[in-house]
Structure 1
Amino acid sequence: MQIHRLQGYIQNIYLAEQTEGLLLLDGCSRADVRMVCDYITNTLGRPLADLKLVVVTHMHPDHAGGAALLRNITGAPLAAHPAARHWYSGLAGRTAHAIDVGLTWWVAKRLGKPRRHIWYNPILSADILLQDEQSLPGFPDWQVICTPGHTNHDISLLHRPDGQLYVADLIVQVRGRLVPPYPVCHPNQYRQSLQRVAELQVQQVFCAHVPPQPAAAIDFASLLAQAPAKPKNHWHSARNRILHYLGRRDSAH
């Protein structure tokens, strides 16, 4: 098994190549689809039909935005947690989806990237629903590890034979330091997920926004200490700003 790391629009993309075929460890963004297809055909010299499965670890634009289009082009089925379909449902969900697309453009601008077309259907129609600790269909060496907290449906993917783990956005990097992501919608679950990953004692950790790390180099105790005690997301940030403004106005009177 060989893992290829591709530089996506705002994130790392990981493509596993093995005898069973090609496995895309996350659905990337819509802006990445052509690059992923070109890599398969031109760099690896393989037909697009060799892409046998696309996993969506969670529904944010840089992890799910390209999934449906990749399925249309390659025929590869999509696999995700059962709750992924409902993440952006309803008026509040559609509002959050629009905000997340805007945040993706903001990150791209900070990285010096142009604005690209990244809009996608916020309601995922997965072909395969994934449960905790099951093996990936067609790729029995890969195991699903549920690691919620960033959202309510995050999953990580463990390659059991050599202890390589893809954790998507469980860990990010700010000014060279490993920190919890934004948002953390479910703080208690996030802490449990960090603890669970630490206890897996894997060899290598792959992240969407951090270069691959030896697991021994990750200070999980520091990450747990930095993990928020209360939710950190769009709604709570907006609420806190409003309350802060109202408090300042009342004190001025």
Structure 2
Amino acid sequence: MKVHTLAGYIQHIYLVETPGGLLLLDGCSRADAHNVCTFITDTLNRPLTDLTLIVVTHMHPDHAGGAHKLRKLTGAKIAAHPKAAKWYSGVMGRAAHLIDVSLTWWVAGRLGKPKKHIWYSPILKPDIILLDEQTLPGFEDWQVLFTPGHTDHDITLYHGETSQAYVADLMVSVKRQLTPPYPICHPNQYKQSLKRIQTLQPQTVFCAHVPPLSINDIDFEAIIQQAPVLPKNHWHSAKNRIAHALGGQNAAH
């Protein structure tokens, strides 16, 4: 079993290679789909049909945006959390989807990347619904762990034999310091998810936006201390701005 790291549009992409097939640890962005395919055919010298499973750890554009496209190109199945398909449902969900796509372009711009086509369906259509602590179909040495907080449906993937875990956006780096991601939709669940990984003690931790880490490099208590008490997301921020503006107007009168 080998874990290959590919440079994605705004994130690291992790492709697992085994003799029996290929596993994509996250759905990446739509802009990454052809690069993943080229890596499979040109670097690994394997047919695209060897990619048999794509896990979507959560629905943000750099984790789910390429899933449907890659399924179409390779025939792979998509596996996801039971709540993933409904994350962007409804009017508020569609608005959040637009904001998240725009934020992805903003991050790309900060990284010096050109604006690319990253639009994808806000409604995921998975082939496999995952359960907490189950193993991945066809890759039974990988275990699914639910680690919500960033969203209500975040997934960590754990390879016990080699003590490696892919935690997606459970932590990011700001000014070379590990911090909670944005948004944090469920602060209490987020802190419990951090503690779950801390208890698990994987030797190597793969993140979407941070180079691979040794467990000894992660100060879990410091990250937990930085986590917000209340939700920190688009809607909470907007409501706070409105309340602040109305408060200022009332004070003026």
TM-score over 0.5 for the alignment? yes
In structure 2, stretches of 5+ residues that fail to align are none
CA–CA distance in structure 1, aligned partners of residues 252 and 44 of structure 2 = 65
| d(CA) in 2 for partners of 1:198, 1:135 | 20
Structure 1 unaligned blocks of 5 or more: none
CA-based RMSD of the aligned residues comes to 0.6
Q: Give the deviation of 1:246 after TM superposition.
A: 1.3
Residue 246 (structure 2) aligns with: 246
Q: Which runs of 4+ in 1 moved over 2 A?
A: none
Q: CA deviation at 1:252?
A: 2.1
Please give the per-residue CA displacement for 1:65-91, whole angstroms capped at 9, x wherever unaligned: 000010000000000001000000000
Amino acid at match of 1:47: P
Q: What is the deviation of 1:20? A: 2.3
Shift of 1:19: 2.2
Match of 1:228 in 2: 228
* Alignment size in residue pairs: 253
Q: Which residue of 1 aligns with 2:200?
A: 200
Superimposed CA distance per residue, residues 23-76 of structure 1 (whole angstroms, 9 cap, x where no aligned partner): 000000000001000000001111101101000000000000000010000000
In the alignment, the residues of structure 2 paired with residue 78 and residue 51 of structure 1 have an alpha-carbon distance, to the nearest angstrom, of 11
The question of 1:31 aligning with 2:31 is answered: yes
Percent identical pairs in the alignment equals 66
> What TM-score do you get using the length of structure 2 for normalisation?
0.99
Distance in 2 of aligned mates of 1:217 and 1:109:
29
TM-score (norm 1): 0.99
1:95 shift after superposition = 0.5
The one-character-per-residue Cα deviations of 1:100-126 (angstroms, maximum 9, x if unpaired) are 000000000000011101010110000
The C-alpha deviation readout for 1:112-148, integer Å capped at 9, x for no partner, is 0111010101100000000000000000100001000
- The aligned residue for residue 149 of structure 2 is 149
Q: How far apart are residue 248 of structure 1 and its match?
A: 1.6
